[in-house]
Structure formats: C-alpha cells, structure tokens
Structure 1
Amino acid sequence: MKNKLALTILILILLFTGCSVNKEVNISNAEKLKLKPNEVIKNYFKYYNEKSRTGVLSTLTDWQNKPNLVLGFNKLKSIKLNTIIEDTDPKEKDIYMKYGRGKVNGVKDADVKNYKVTFTIEYKNNEGGPIKNGKHFEWFTVIRKNKNSAWLIDEHGEG
C-alpha cells in the first residue's frame, strides 16, 4: 500500500514539475515531401522551442539520430528563429560537397541548398549551453536524396 502511494505521488510530482518535457510529434512522409527547404528549417526551430525530440529529429537526416544526441532541452528557455536567407553563392555548397558530408553521402549538387540562419536563444537561469544567450547565426545545409524525397537538414553550425 505504501509503495502504491509513493509511486502515485512520484508520478504526480513528475507531471506537475514538467519533467516529461519532450513533446511527441508525428510527421508523415507525405507532409515532409510538401515542405520547402526553408520550411524544414522553420520546423526545426519550432520543434526545438517546443522541446520535441521527435519533432527535431523529423527535420534532420538519419545519420544525426544517435542515442547520445544531446539537445539540451533541460536548460533551454526559448529559441526564436529570426531570419532564413538562402545562400546562392556556390562557395558554401562547394565546401560541403568537397570536404563535408556531401563527399560521403552521394548527394547531387542540385539537391543541396545552403542557408544563413539567425536566431535568438535564451537559457534558463542564464545557465548557457554550447552557445551563450543572445542572437547568433549558423549555416544550415539542407539536402534531399532525389527529386522525390523530402528536404532534411544534414549539417548546421557556426559561420
């Protein structure tokens, strides 16, 4: 009897303190196929702000879905997408194709797009994470296997 009561109290505490933060999102392949590359990036930030692991993973290529992937939701207060600008200068794409994952994943040049993305991130109690509170920009490389597959984020990082 004591064990059942203790278990019930523990479950209630977890529910009311928000320890089960990760929101489940189900995205169908048909929905993914409809998205433009910049919409995939918008969804990434939307799901990241919602602290949805499944949502974030739905925007990324499969190689990134690793058991040790740390998204840092426990420290995150908010993340807000500010701008997405497609980079049509071939420099970033060439770097990706020659030295990045484009060298190993077999993607064709026509199925790669690069974007300069600015966002603002805020952590709880200014704890910080891999980057500090404030406005930042990163390069996002969005790819698809072919014309009949969905666009997904293959890489992103500081510029």
Structure 2
Amino acid sequence: MKWKFGILLIIVMIIFVGCSKDSHSKVDSQSYSAQSVVEKYFQYRNEKNKDKLLTTLTEHWNAPNVVWGFENLDSIRIINIEEEKNEKVKKLYLSTGRGSINGTKENNLKVYKVKYVVKNKNDSVGPQESGTYEWWYFVIRKDESSPWRIDDFGV
C-alpha cells in the first residue's frame, strides 16, 4: 500500500512541476511581431535596460562604441507608430542603406514611422535633445522563421 501512495505522490509532483511556469524566463522576442519589437525597444529604452533592449536589435548594435545615454534619459515614449506604406523608403534601405550590406530581401523588411517624445535630465548631453521626433525604424528578419529585429533607424 505504501508503494502505491509513493507512486501517486511522484505522479502528482511530476504533474505539478511540469505545469508550473518559470516566471524568470528570458525575453522571448522570437514571437513578437515587427511592430511590437519597435514598441518593446521603446519600453526597454525607457526602462534603461540594455540587456532587454539588445534583444530587439540586430547584432551590430551590440558594440562598445554605441552610446545609449541612459544616465541622462528621463523618459522616452511613443506618441504614434504606423507602418510606412511608401515603397521608396523600403527601396532606399535595400539599395543604399544597411540592406545593401546585410542582404535583406523585401519580404523580410518592415518599416515603421514612429513619432516619439524624449525627455532628458540635461539637454547639453546627447545623444538626442529633449523633444518630439519622427523617425523611420527598419525592422528585418533573416528569413520567415527568424525573429524580427530593428536594424536601423533615423530621419
């Protein structure tokens, strides 16, 4: 009889452990849409979380010469985000922008026009002064089964 109770206890423990969630799991940006990657980028930048921020960006952003300006940033937030429908913007990225270097194909590129506001503690310290900006964000993936990542941004 004791062995039946022991087996039952083991089964219950296996079910319990198997159904529990790890609340400390890593950020899974693999499943994010292209637009939500941009939204997460702003969230993590506002949180001044470089590790999570880097999960939204392509590898070339993980370099020692990249200045994030977290120490001066008070806040950053999106006012508006919409997918850029002008095909010329995509074509420019693919022909003369970073797309000409990394070999991105048009079906693996999305461009978003993002209007956002930055507030700094001290405007004499970069990388951007406090104010409202409207920039394009170029989000790419290697192929259809790869995660979306921000590759470039600017005016």
Same fold by TM-score greater than 0.5: yes
Q: Which shows bigger deviation, 128-137 or 145-154?
A: 128-137
1:90-122 deviations in Å (ceiling 9; x for gaps) = 111000010011112121110001110011000
- Tell me which amino acid in the other structure corresponds to 1:136: Y
C-alpha RMSD of the superposition:
1.4
The TM-score with structure 2 as length reference comes to 0.80
Instruction: Report the counterpart of residue 119 of structure 2 in structure 1.
Output: 122
Find the residue that maps to 1:70 and give its secondary structure.
coil
Are 2:144 and 1:144 aligned?
no
Instruction: Report the counterpart of residue 38 of structure 1 in structure 2.
Output: 35
Off by >4 Å, runs of 4+ in structure 1: none
The TM-score with structure 1 as length reference comes to 0.78
Kindly report which structure 2 residues correspond to 1:7-26, keeping only aligned pairs within 5 A, or say none.
26=26
1-structure distance, mates of 2:143, 2:80: 27
Are 2:47 and 1:47 aligned?
no
Task: Identify the match of residue 89 of structure 2 among 84, 87, 92.
Answer: 92
1-structure distance, mates of 2:53, 2:134: 18
Instruction: Report the counterpart of residue 72 of structure 1 in structure 2.
Output: 69
Call closer, same or farther: CA 1:123–1:57 in 2, change over 3 Å: same
2-structure distance, mates of 1:136, 1:128: 17
- Matched length: 131
Tell me, which stretches of 5 or more residues in structure 1 are unaligned?
A: 1-24
Instruction: Report the counterpart of residue 102 of structure 1 in structure 2.
Output: 99
Are 2:143 and 1:131 aligned?
no
Call closer, same or farther: CA 1:128–1:120 in 2, change over 3 Å: farther
Call closer, same or farther: CA 1:127–1:97 in 2, change over 3 Å: same
2-structure distance, mates of 1:108, 1:35: 19
Find the residue that maps to 1:45 and give its secondary structure.
helix
Are 2:58 and 1:58 aligned?
no
Alpha-carbon distance, 1:130 to partner: 2.7
- Tell me which amino acid in the other structure corresponds to 1:154: D
Q: Which shows bigger deviation, 115-124 or 63-72?
A: 63-72
1-structure distance, mates of 2:66, 2:122: 23
Higher alpha-carbon Rg: 2
Tell me, which stretches of 5 or more residues in structure 2 are unaligned?
A: 1-24
